Chain A
Amino acid sequence: MPTSELRAYATIWQRITDCALCPGTPVCWADMPPASETPVIEFRDVSYRIADTQVLSGFNLQVQRGETVVLLGRSGSGKTTSLKLVNRLLTASSGEIQVNGVSNAEVDLIRLRRGIGYVIQDVGLFPHFTIERNIGLVPKIEAWPQDRIRTRVQELLQMVALAPEIGLRYPHQLSGGQRQRVGVARALAADPEILLMDEPFGALDPLTRDELQREFLLLQQRLHKTVLFVTHDLREALRLGSRIALMEAGRLVTVLAPGEFLGSTDPLASAYVRAFGGDLESAAKRGAL
Protein backbone atom coordinates (compact mmCIF):
# COMPACT_ATOMS: atom_id res chain seq x y z
CA MET A 1 0.00 0.00 0.00
CA PRO A 2 1.54 3.36 -0.95
CA THR A 3 2.34 5.71 1.88
CA SER A 4 0.02 8.44 0.61
CA GLU A 5 -2.87 6.05 0.91
CA LEU A 6 -1.82 5.01 4.39
CA ARG A 7 -1.63 8.62 5.36
CA ALA A 8 -5.12 9.18 4.01
CA TYR A 9 -6.47 6.33 6.11
CA ALA A 10 -4.66 7.69 9.14
CA THR A 11 -6.32 11.08 8.70
CA ILE A 12 -9.68 9.44 8.29
CA TRP A 13 -9.17 7.46 11.47
CA GLN A 14 -8.02 10.59 13.27
CA ARG A 15 -11.17 12.40 12.31
CA ILE A 16 -13.32 9.55 13.58
CA THR A 17 -11.59 9.11 16.90
CA ASP A 18 -11.35 12.84 17.45
CA CYS A 19 -14.81 13.13 18.87
CA ALA A 20 -14.34 13.70 22.58
CA LEU A 21 -17.96 13.40 23.54
CA CYS A 22 -18.49 9.86 22.49
CA PRO A 23 -15.15 8.06 22.61
CA GLY A 24 -15.00 4.64 21.12
CA THR A 25 -17.98 5.00 18.83
CA PRO A 26 -17.22 5.15 15.14
CA VAL A 27 -19.84 7.79 14.44
CA CYS A 28 -20.26 10.99 16.30
CA TRP A 29 -23.79 11.45 17.58
CA ALA A 30 -22.89 14.30 19.88
CA ASP A 31 -24.38 17.12 17.86
CA MET A 32 -27.49 15.19 16.86
CA PRO A 33 -30.56 16.99 18.16
CA PRO A 34 -33.07 15.07 20.24
CA ALA A 35 -35.67 13.21 18.23
CA SER A 36 -38.53 15.25 19.62
CA GLU A 37 -37.71 18.15 17.27
CA THR A 38 -39.89 18.69 14.20
CA PRO A 39 -38.86 16.06 11.68
CA VAL A 40 -37.15 17.48 8.60
CA ILE A 41 -39.17 15.20 6.35
CA GLU A 42 -42.46 13.67 7.37
CA PHE A 43 -44.75 11.51 5.28
CA ARG A 44 -48.30 11.66 6.59
CA ASP A 45 -50.51 8.88 5.34
CA VAL A 46 -49.27 9.34 1.80
CA SER A 47 -50.70 7.43 -1.14
CA TYR A 48 -49.72 7.57 -4.77
CA ARG A 49 -51.75 6.08 -7.56
CA ILE A 50 -51.06 6.16 -11.27
CA ALA A 51 -53.84 5.01 -13.59
CA ASP A 52 -55.12 1.87 -11.82
CA THR A 53 -51.91 1.01 -10.02
CA GLN A 54 -51.54 1.76 -6.35
CA VAL A 55 -47.82 2.50 -6.11
CA LEU A 56 -47.78 3.70 -2.53
CA SER A 57 -50.41 3.40 0.17
CA GLY A 58 -50.78 4.71 3.71
CA PHE A 59 -47.11 5.65 3.92
CA ASN A 60 -45.97 7.23 7.20
CA LEU A 61 -42.35 8.04 7.95
CA GLN A 62 -40.38 10.67 9.83
CA VAL A 63 -36.84 11.63 9.01
CA GLN A 64 -35.05 13.54 11.76
CA ARG A 65 -32.40 16.19 11.31
CA GLY A 66 -29.00 14.75 10.45
CA GLU A 67 -30.02 11.14 10.07
CA THR A 68 -29.76 8.91 7.03
CA VAL A 69 -32.93 6.94 6.49
CA VAL A 70 -32.53 4.20 3.93
CA LEU A 71 -35.57 3.05 2.00
CA LEU A 72 -34.89 -0.60 1.32
CA GLY A 73 -37.04 -2.76 -0.90
CA ARG A 74 -37.21 -4.58 -4.18
CA SER A 75 -38.02 -2.97 -7.53
CA GLY A 76 -41.57 -1.71 -7.59
CA SER A 77 -41.87 -1.49 -3.81
CA GLY A 78 -42.43 2.27 -4.03
CA LYS A 79 -39.12 3.53 -2.69
CA THR A 80 -38.21 5.74 -5.64
CA THR A 81 -41.75 7.03 -5.74
CA SER A 82 -41.54 8.08 -2.08
CA LEU A 83 -38.32 9.92 -2.81
CA LYS A 84 -39.75 11.79 -5.77
CA LEU A 85 -42.75 12.84 -3.73
CA VAL A 86 -40.46 14.82 -1.44
CA ASN A 87 -39.15 17.18 -4.13
CA ARG A 88 -42.44 16.96 -6.00
CA LEU A 89 -41.17 15.30 -9.12
CA LEU A 90 -44.36 13.38 -8.33
CA THR A 91 -47.46 14.63 -6.54
CA ALA A 92 -49.16 12.54 -3.87
CA SER A 93 -52.68 11.33 -4.62
CA SER A 94 -53.58 11.74 -0.96
CA GLY A 95 -51.91 12.56 2.33
CA GLU A 96 -49.17 15.12 2.66
CA ILE A 97 -45.42 15.41 2.94
CA GLN A 98 -44.07 17.97 5.33
CA VAL A 99 -40.66 19.48 4.96
CA ASN A 100 -39.57 21.28 8.11
CA GLY A 101 -43.11 21.24 9.37
CA VAL A 102 -44.70 22.76 6.27
CA SER A 103 -46.59 20.80 3.64
CA ASN A 104 -44.36 20.70 0.57
CA ALA A 105 -47.38 21.38 -1.64
CA GLU A 106 -47.55 24.87 -0.19
CA VAL A 107 -43.93 25.75 -0.88
CA ASP A 108 -42.90 27.28 -4.20
CA LEU A 109 -41.83 24.32 -6.34
CA ILE A 110 -38.55 25.81 -7.53
CA ARG A 111 -37.58 27.02 -4.04
CA LEU A 112 -38.42 23.62 -2.60
CA ARG A 113 -36.22 21.81 -5.11
CA ARG A 114 -33.30 24.18 -4.78
CA GLY A 115 -33.27 23.49 -1.07
CA ILE A 116 -33.03 19.74 -1.62
CA GLY A 117 -30.02 18.01 -3.14
CA TYR A 118 -30.96 15.25 -5.58
CA VAL A 119 -28.65 12.44 -6.64
CA ILE A 120 -29.75 9.68 -9.02
CA GLN A 121 -28.21 6.45 -10.25
CA ASP A 122 -27.68 7.72 -13.80
CA VAL A 123 -26.17 10.92 -12.39
CA GLY A 124 -27.60 13.05 -15.21
CA LEU A 125 -24.69 15.44 -15.61
CA PHE A 126 -25.19 18.04 -18.34
CA PRO A 127 -23.02 16.64 -21.13
CA HIS A 128 -22.41 20.06 -22.74
CA PHE A 129 -21.17 21.70 -19.53
CA THR A 130 -17.75 21.32 -17.96
CA ILE A 131 -17.66 19.71 -14.52
CA GLU A 132 -17.18 23.16 -13.04
CA ARG A 133 -20.32 24.47 -14.70
CA ASN A 134 -22.25 21.35 -13.76
CA ILE A 135 -21.43 21.77 -10.09
CA GLY A 136 -21.89 25.53 -10.10
CA LEU A 137 -25.20 25.61 -11.95
CA VAL A 138 -27.57 26.08 -9.03
CA PRO A 139 -25.34 28.73 -7.39
CA LYS A 140 -25.21 30.44 -10.78
CA ILE A 141 -28.96 30.57 -11.29
CA GLU A 142 -29.22 31.68 -7.67
CA ALA A 143 -27.05 34.61 -8.84
CA TRP A 144 -24.07 34.04 -6.58
CA PRO A 145 -21.07 36.23 -7.51
CA GLN A 146 -18.58 34.57 -9.91
CA ASP A 147 -15.67 34.26 -7.49
CA ARG A 148 -17.85 32.78 -4.77
CA ILE A 149 -19.07 30.13 -7.20
CA ARG A 150 -15.49 29.33 -8.20
CA THR A 151 -14.39 28.97 -4.59
CA ARG A 152 -17.40 26.81 -3.80
CA VAL A 153 -16.76 24.53 -6.78
CA GLN A 154 -13.13 24.01 -5.72
CA GLU A 155 -14.23 23.31 -2.17
CA LEU A 156 -16.77 20.76 -3.38
CA LEU A 157 -14.33 19.02 -5.71
CA GLN A 158 -12.01 18.59 -2.77
CA MET A 159 -14.88 17.39 -0.61
CA VAL A 160 -15.67 14.55 -3.02
CA ALA A 161 -11.97 13.73 -3.47
CA LEU A 162 -11.55 14.98 -7.02
CA ALA A 163 -8.52 16.87 -8.30
CA PRO A 164 -9.13 20.57 -9.06
CA GLU A 165 -8.24 20.17 -12.75
CA ILE A 166 -11.19 17.77 -13.19
CA GLY A 167 -13.32 20.90 -13.11
CA LEU A 168 -12.27 21.78 -16.64
CA ARG A 169 -13.21 18.43 -18.13
CA TYR A 170 -16.49 17.28 -19.65
CA PRO A 171 -18.62 14.48 -18.17
CA HIS A 172 -17.78 12.00 -20.96
CA GLN A 173 -14.11 12.26 -20.04
CA LEU A 174 -14.75 10.92 -16.53
CA SER A 175 -15.10 7.42 -15.14
CA GLY A 176 -18.39 6.24 -13.63
CA GLY A 177 -17.14 6.74 -10.09
CA GLN A 178 -15.87 10.23 -10.86
CA ARG A 179 -19.16 11.15 -12.48
CA GLN A 180 -21.11 10.09 -9.42
CA ARG A 181 -18.74 12.08 -7.21
CA VAL A 182 -19.55 15.09 -9.35
CA GLY A 183 -23.24 14.21 -8.99
CA VAL A 184 -22.89 14.37 -5.22
CA ALA A 185 -20.89 17.60 -5.38
CA ARG A 186 -23.53 19.18 -7.60
CA ALA A 187 -26.28 18.18 -5.19
CA LEU A 188 -24.35 19.78 -2.33
CA ALA A 189 -23.53 22.97 -4.24
CA ALA A 190 -26.01 25.36 -2.67
CA ASP A 191 -25.59 23.64 0.71
CA PRO A 192 -29.10 22.14 0.94
CA GLU A 193 -30.27 20.78 4.24
CA ILE A 194 -31.76 17.66 2.68
CA LEU A 195 -30.28 15.12 0.30
CA LEU A 196 -32.37 12.68 -1.69
CA MET A 197 -30.29 9.84 -3.09
CA ASP A 198 -31.80 7.30 -5.47
CA GLU A 199 -29.47 4.29 -5.71
CA PRO A 200 -26.57 6.66 -6.26
CA PHE A 201 -23.94 3.93 -6.16
CA GLY A 202 -26.02 1.22 -7.85
CA ALA A 203 -24.35 1.38 -11.26
CA LEU A 204 -20.77 1.33 -9.98
CA ASP A 205 -18.35 -1.58 -9.80
CA PRO A 206 -17.97 -3.10 -6.29
CA LEU A 207 -14.63 -1.47 -5.51
CA THR A 208 -15.72 2.01 -6.56
CA ARG A 209 -19.01 1.52 -4.75
CA ASP A 210 -17.16 0.61 -1.58
CA GLU A 211 -14.99 3.69 -1.94
CA LEU A 212 -17.93 6.01 -2.47
CA GLN A 213 -19.89 4.52 0.41
CA ARG A 214 -16.94 5.14 2.69
CA GLU A 215 -16.59 8.70 1.47
CA PHE A 216 -20.31 9.23 1.92
CA LEU A 217 -19.98 8.22 5.58
CA LEU A 218 -17.06 10.58 6.08
CA LEU A 219 -18.93 13.39 4.38
CA GLN A 220 -21.98 12.75 6.53
CA GLN A 221 -19.87 13.00 9.68
CA ARG A 222 -18.83 16.43 8.58
CA LEU A 223 -22.02 17.78 7.07
CA HIS A 224 -24.85 16.07 8.98
CA LYS A 225 -27.30 16.38 6.12
CA THR A 226 -30.73 14.90 6.44
CA VAL A 227 -30.60 12.08 3.93
CA LEU A 228 -33.27 9.90 2.39
CA PHE A 229 -31.45 7.12 0.57
CA VAL A 230 -32.96 4.50 -1.72
CA THR A 231 -31.32 1.14 -2.30
CA HIS A 232 -32.14 -2.53 -2.81
CA ASP A 233 -28.79 -3.57 -1.37
CA LEU A 234 -29.09 -4.65 2.26
CA ARG A 235 -25.35 -4.39 2.79
CA GLU A 236 -25.40 -0.77 1.67
CA ALA A 237 -28.45 -0.06 3.82
CA LEU A 238 -26.79 -1.53 6.92
CA ARG A 239 -23.61 0.37 6.30
CA LEU A 240 -25.01 3.80 5.52
CA GLY A 241 -28.35 4.03 7.29
CA SER A 242 -29.09 5.38 10.75
CA ARG A 243 -32.41 3.66 10.25
CA ILE A 244 -33.71 1.32 7.58
CA ALA A 245 -37.27 1.63 6.32
CA LEU A 246 -38.21 -1.67 4.76
CA MET A 247 -40.77 -1.44 1.97
CA GLU A 248 -42.81 -3.98 0.08
CA ALA A 249 -45.59 -3.55 -2.50
CA GLY A 250 -46.10 0.13 -1.80
CA ARG A 251 -46.24 -0.23 1.96
CA LEU A 252 -43.84 0.47 4.75
CA VAL A 253 -43.21 -2.85 6.49
CA THR A 254 -41.04 -1.75 9.37
CA VAL A 255 -38.40 0.76 10.40
CA LEU A 256 -35.33 -0.67 12.12
CA ALA A 257 -31.89 0.45 13.19
CA PRO A 258 -29.16 -1.48 11.36
CA GLY A 259 -28.29 -3.30 14.56
CA GLU A 260 -31.89 -4.46 15.04
CA PHE A 261 -32.29 -5.50 11.44
CA LEU A 262 -30.18 -8.65 11.65
CA GLY A 263 -32.02 -9.98 14.68
CA SER A 264 -35.44 -8.94 13.48
CA THR A 265 -38.20 -11.53 13.53
CA ASP A 266 -40.05 -9.73 10.76
CA PRO A 267 -40.39 -12.32 7.98
CA LEU A 268 -39.43 -9.88 5.22
CA ALA A 269 -36.42 -8.56 7.13
CA SER A 270 -35.17 -12.04 7.88
CA ALA A 271 -35.75 -13.06 4.26
CA TYR A 272 -33.47 -10.18 3.28
CA VAL A 273 -30.84 -11.23 5.77
CA ARG A 274 -30.95 -14.82 4.47
CA ALA A 275 -30.73 -13.69 0.86
CA PHE A 276 -27.65 -11.61 1.52
CA GLY A 277 -25.90 -14.34 3.48
CA GLY A 278 -23.21 -14.06 6.09
CA ASP A 279 -20.84 -11.36 7.21
CA LEU A 280 -23.56 -8.74 7.48
CA GLU A 281 -22.63 -7.97 11.09
CA SER A 282 -19.53 -6.09 10.06
CA ALA A 283 -21.57 -4.00 7.62
CA ALA A 284 -24.14 -3.31 10.30
CA LYS A 285 -21.56 -1.67 12.53
CA ARG A 286 -22.74 1.63 11.25
CA GLY A 287 -19.95 3.74 9.97
CA ALA A 288 -17.76 0.73 9.31
CA LEU A 289 -15.17 2.06 6.99
Chain B
Amino acid sequence: MNVFRFILQNHDQVLELTLEHLRLVGLSTLFAMLIGIPLGILIAHRPRFNKPVLASANIIQTIPSLALFGFLLPVPWLGDRADRLAILALTLYALLPIIRNTYTGIRGVDPAVMEAGRGMGLTESQLLFQVQLPLAVSVILSGVRVAVVISVGLATIAAAIGAGGLGEFIFRGLAMVDDRVILAGAIPAALMALLADFSVGWLERRLQPQ
Protein backbone atom coordinates (compact mmCIF):
# COMPACT_ATOMS: atom_id res chain seq x y z
CA MET B 1 0.00 0.00 0.00
CA ASN B 2 1.02 3.56 -0.66
CA VAL B 3 0.84 4.63 2.94
CA PHE B 4 3.31 2.05 4.10
CA ARG B 5 5.66 2.80 1.25
CA PHE B 6 5.48 6.46 2.25
CA ILE B 7 6.20 5.60 5.87
CA LEU B 8 9.12 3.38 4.91
CA GLN B 9 10.58 6.02 2.63
CA ASN B 10 10.31 8.63 5.36
CA HIS B 11 11.06 6.37 8.27
CA ASP B 12 13.64 8.77 9.76
CA GLN B 13 11.10 11.51 10.02
CA VAL B 14 8.33 9.19 11.22
CA LEU B 15 10.62 7.98 13.96
CA GLU B 16 11.65 11.48 14.94
CA LEU B 17 8.07 12.75 15.10
CA THR B 18 6.98 9.64 17.01
CA LEU B 19 9.67 10.30 19.60
CA GLU B 20 8.59 13.94 19.85
CA HIS B 21 5.04 12.77 20.29
CA LEU B 22 6.06 10.33 23.00
CA ARG B 23 7.93 13.09 24.78
CA LEU B 24 4.91 15.39 24.76
CA VAL B 25 2.60 12.64 26.03
CA GLY B 26 5.09 11.19 28.50
CA LEU B 27 6.06 14.47 30.15
CA SER B 28 2.52 15.79 30.30
CA THR B 29 1.21 12.54 31.82
CA LEU B 30 4.03 12.58 34.35
CA PHE B 31 3.22 16.16 35.37
CA ALA B 32 -0.50 15.40 35.46
CA MET B 33 0.18 12.47 37.81
CA LEU B 34 2.45 14.59 40.01
CA ILE B 35 -0.29 17.21 40.34
CA GLY B 36 -3.44 15.10 39.98
CA ILE B 37 -2.74 12.30 42.44
CA PRO B 38 -1.95 14.61 45.39
CA LEU B 39 -4.98 16.74 44.48
CA GLY B 40 -7.16 13.63 44.37
CA ILE B 41 -5.82 12.58 47.78
CA LEU B 42 -6.47 16.07 49.13
CA ILE B 43 -10.10 16.20 48.04
CA ALA B 44 -10.70 12.66 49.30
CA HIS B 45 -9.64 13.85 52.76
CA ARG B 46 -10.98 17.42 52.67
CA PRO B 47 -14.46 17.22 51.16
CA ARG B 48 -14.86 20.99 51.04
CA PHE B 49 -12.19 21.20 48.30
CA ASN B 50 -13.97 18.52 46.35
CA LYS B 51 -16.38 20.71 44.37
CA PRO B 52 -14.00 23.53 43.40
CA VAL B 53 -11.19 21.19 42.34
CA LEU B 54 -13.34 18.84 40.28
CA ALA B 55 -15.27 21.77 38.78
CA SER B 56 -12.04 23.46 37.65
CA ALA B 57 -10.74 20.27 36.10
CA ASN B 58 -14.09 19.81 34.40
CA ILE B 59 -14.07 23.34 32.99
CA ILE B 60 -10.57 22.89 31.59
CA GLN B 61 -11.81 19.75 29.89
CA THR B 62 -14.54 21.70 28.12
CA ILE B 63 -12.16 24.22 26.51
CA PRO B 64 -11.57 23.21 22.88
CA SER B 65 -7.96 22.12 22.59
CA LEU B 66 -7.06 24.39 19.71
CA ALA B 67 -8.45 27.35 21.66
CA LEU B 68 -6.48 26.39 24.77
CA PHE B 69 -3.26 26.23 22.77
CA GLY B 70 -4.15 29.65 21.40
CA PHE B 71 -4.94 31.14 24.83
CA LEU B 72 -1.62 30.02 26.23
CA LEU B 73 0.42 31.37 23.35
CA PRO B 74 0.90 34.92 24.72
CA VAL B 75 1.96 33.70 28.18
CA PRO B 76 5.61 34.73 28.80
CA TRP B 77 8.24 31.98 29.05
CA LEU B 78 5.65 29.37 28.08
CA GLY B 79 4.95 30.97 24.73
CA ASP B 80 8.70 31.07 23.97
CA ARG B 81 8.70 27.42 23.07
CA ALA B 82 5.77 25.61 21.55
CA ASP B 83 6.57 22.29 23.21
CA ARG B 84 6.46 23.81 26.70
CA LEU B 85 3.08 25.17 25.92
CA ALA B 86 1.84 21.93 24.45
CA ILE B 87 3.03 20.00 27.50
CA LEU B 88 1.20 22.41 29.81
CA ALA B 89 -2.03 22.14 27.84
CA LEU B 90 -1.84 18.35 27.68
CA THR B 91 -1.12 18.24 31.43
CA LEU B 92 -4.23 20.29 32.10
CA TYR B 93 -6.37 17.96 29.99
CA ALA B 94 -4.98 14.86 31.69
CA LEU B 95 -5.79 16.19 35.18
CA LEU B 96 -9.50 15.41 35.29
CA PRO B 97 -9.41 11.62 34.87
CA ILE B 98 -6.45 11.31 37.22
CA ILE B 99 -7.90 13.50 39.98
CA ARG B 100 -11.31 11.90 39.70
CA ASN B 101 -10.02 8.33 39.79
CA THR B 102 -7.66 9.01 42.69
CA TYR B 103 -10.60 10.46 44.59
CA THR B 104 -12.88 7.56 43.69
CA GLY B 105 -10.21 4.97 44.48
CA ILE B 106 -9.46 6.37 47.91
CA ARG B 107 -13.09 6.93 48.82
CA GLY B 108 -13.81 3.40 47.68
CA VAL B 109 -11.68 1.79 50.37
CA ASP B 110 -13.94 -0.24 52.67
CA PRO B 111 -14.92 2.00 55.64
CA ALA B 112 -14.50 -0.97 58.00
CA VAL B 113 -10.87 -1.27 56.91
CA MET B 114 -10.31 2.41 57.61
CA GLU B 115 -12.06 2.21 60.98
CA ALA B 116 -10.03 -0.82 62.00
CA GLY B 117 -6.83 0.89 60.87
CA ARG B 118 -7.62 4.06 62.82
CA GLY B 119 -8.68 2.06 65.85
CA MET B 120 -5.38 0.16 65.77
CA GLY B 121 -3.52 3.44 66.01
CA LEU B 122 -2.23 3.90 62.47
CA THR B 123 -1.34 7.52 61.77
CA GLU B 124 -3.05 9.27 58.89
CA SER B 125 0.06 8.95 56.73
CA GLN B 126 0.42 5.25 57.55
CA LEU B 127 -3.21 4.80 56.57
CA LEU B 128 -2.60 6.66 53.33
CA PHE B 129 0.58 4.89 52.24
CA GLN B 130 -0.04 1.42 53.60
CA VAL B 131 -3.77 1.11 53.13
CA GLN B 132 -5.50 3.65 50.92
CA LEU B 133 -2.98 4.07 48.10
CA PRO B 134 -2.19 0.34 47.70
CA LEU B 135 -5.91 -0.41 47.60
CA ALA B 136 -6.67 2.46 45.23
CA VAL B 137 -3.74 1.94 42.88
CA SER B 138 -5.60 0.07 40.16
CA VAL B 139 -8.40 2.64 40.07
CA ILE B 140 -5.83 5.45 39.91
CA LEU B 141 -4.02 3.69 37.06
CA SER B 142 -7.22 3.29 35.10
CA GLY B 143 -7.53 7.08 35.32
CA VAL B 144 -3.96 7.41 34.07
CA ARG B 145 -4.80 5.06 31.22
CA VAL B 146 -7.70 7.24 30.11
CA ALA B 147 -5.48 10.31 30.43
CA VAL B 148 -2.72 8.80 28.27
CA VAL B 149 -5.09 7.73 25.53
CA ILE B 150 -6.67 11.20 25.43
CA SER B 151 -3.22 12.80 25.40
CA VAL B 152 -1.96 10.77 22.46
CA GLY B 153 -4.88 12.02 20.42
CA LEU B 154 -4.74 15.59 21.64
CA ALA B 155 -1.00 15.85 21.13
CA THR B 156 -1.53 15.64 17.36
CA ILE B 157 -3.22 19.04 17.58
CA ALA B 158 -0.15 20.49 19.27
CA ALA B 159 1.48 20.47 15.84
CA ALA B 160 -0.82 23.39 14.98
CA ILE B 161 1.26 25.64 17.24
CA GLY B 162 4.51 24.12 16.06
CA ALA B 163 5.15 21.79 18.95
CA GLY B 164 5.99 18.90 16.64
CA GLY B 165 4.86 15.33 17.04
CA LEU B 166 2.89 13.15 14.68
CA GLY B 167 0.38 15.92 14.15
CA GLU B 168 2.89 17.48 11.75
CA PHE B 169 2.12 14.77 9.20
CA ILE B 170 -1.58 15.15 9.73
CA PHE B 171 -1.59 18.93 9.22
CA ARG B 172 0.82 18.65 6.30
CA GLY B 173 -1.34 15.98 4.72
CA LEU B 174 -4.42 18.12 5.17
CA ALA B 175 -2.70 21.04 3.49
CA MET B 176 -1.46 18.84 0.66
CA VAL B 177 -4.75 16.95 0.44
CA ASP B 178 -2.69 13.77 0.58
CA ASP B 179 -4.18 10.87 2.50
CA ARG B 180 -0.85 9.05 2.64
CA VAL B 181 0.72 11.85 4.61
CA ILE B 182 -2.24 12.16 6.97
CA LEU B 183 -2.17 8.40 7.64
CA ALA B 184 1.58 8.47 8.19
CA GLY B 185 0.78 10.57 11.26
CA ALA B 186 -2.51 8.99 12.23
CA ILE B 187 -1.48 5.33 12.12
CA PRO B 188 1.55 5.59 14.44
CA ALA B 189 -0.53 7.79 16.78
CA ALA B 190 -3.31 5.21 16.89
CA LEU B 191 -0.80 2.43 17.51
CA MET B 192 0.76 4.46 20.29
CA ALA B 193 -2.64 4.95 21.93
CA LEU B 194 -3.39 1.23 21.71
CA LEU B 195 -0.01 0.30 23.09
CA ALA B 196 -0.33 2.76 25.98
CA ASP B 197 -3.83 1.51 26.73
CA PHE B 198 -2.62 -2.07 26.73
CA SER B 199 0.51 -1.56 28.84
CA VAL B 200 -1.06 0.64 31.51
CA GLY B 201 -3.98 -1.79 31.55
CA TRP B 202 -1.57 -4.65 32.14
CA LEU B 203 0.09 -2.75 35.00
CA GLU B 204 -3.33 -1.97 36.42
CA ARG B 205 -4.25 -5.67 36.56
CA ARG B 206 -0.85 -6.58 37.99
CA LEU B 207 -1.26 -4.12 40.85
CA GLN B 208 -4.89 -4.92 41.57
CA PRO B 209 -5.23 -5.92 45.21
CA GLN B 210 -6.65 -9.38 45.74
Q: Which of A's residues lie within 8 Å of B, judged by CB?
A: 87, 89, 109-116, 118, 120, 122-128, 137-138, 141, 170, 172, 183, 186-187, 196
Contact = CB atoms under 8 A, between A and B. Distances in A.
A207 B169 CA distance: 72
B210 interface: yes
Contacts of B47: none
Nearest to B119: A118
A105 to B, nearest CB: 16
A121 to B, nearest CB: 8
B201 to A, nearest CB: 20
B115 A120 contact: yes
A187 B120 CA distance: 7
A186 B135 contact: no
30 contacts: A89-B115, A89-B118, A110-B121, A110-B123, A112-B121, A113-B120, A114-B120, A116-B119, A116-B121, A118-B116, A120-B115, A122-B110, A123-B112, A124-B112, A124-B117, A125-B116, A126-B117, A127-B113, A127-B135, A127-B209, A127-B210, A128-B134, A128-B135, A128-B210, A137-B120, A137-B122, A138-B121, A172-B210, A183-B116, A186-B116
Contacts of B209: 127-128
B52 to A, nearest CB: 24
A183 B115 CA distance: 13
A113 B118 contact: yes
A110 B135 CA distance: 23
B192 interface: no
Interface in B155-204: none
Contacts of B121: 109-116, 138
Interface string B122-145: 110010001100110000000000
